[in-house]
Structure 1
């Protein structure tokens, strides 16, 4: 809550550092531009997530803290995309993977 006689125009975000917040604001500005094509937006999104994994992690945490579902959805890839991105081999049998999906159905919605 901001009071009228507030001297500072700073809003503290203890869980988001300034570099990460700058990147989030860059995303918001781009996604609020009028007249931008869907292809240009997809290109922007692809470039936006092509950052070091530590930055990607900070952006996901910031989006979660800020309750920005749009950024979270764009950044949180499917299981198969994550395996490809990090070159992770699937060591589960199809039956084991299906059992895990059944036990954790909420995570795959």
Structure 2
């Protein structure tokens, strides 16, 4: 799934991640940075490792791509994804 506008996220070691804006604004911190005009060419995330940032992007993509409906199957799938995601990534933090 691809959207029209992209945002560049740059982590502490200078690695860049090009992300669809709709995915990038899932975390409110990044959404507020964009709204406040702090996102000229790239949003710096100096305290975030590549491993963590890639996991956050994965999580945000899943939430954007899952239909926002009352469909029980979609809600159950997202709830299961979130549970497994948090459970599997406790070692990453």
Place the TM-score, normalised by the shorter chain, in its bin.
0.3 to 0.5
Report the TM-score when normalising by structure 2.
0.45
Which structure has the bigger radius of gyration? 1
Higher strand share: 2
Which structure would you say has the larger RCO, counting Cα contacts within 8 Å and 6 or more residues apart? 2
Higher helix share: 1
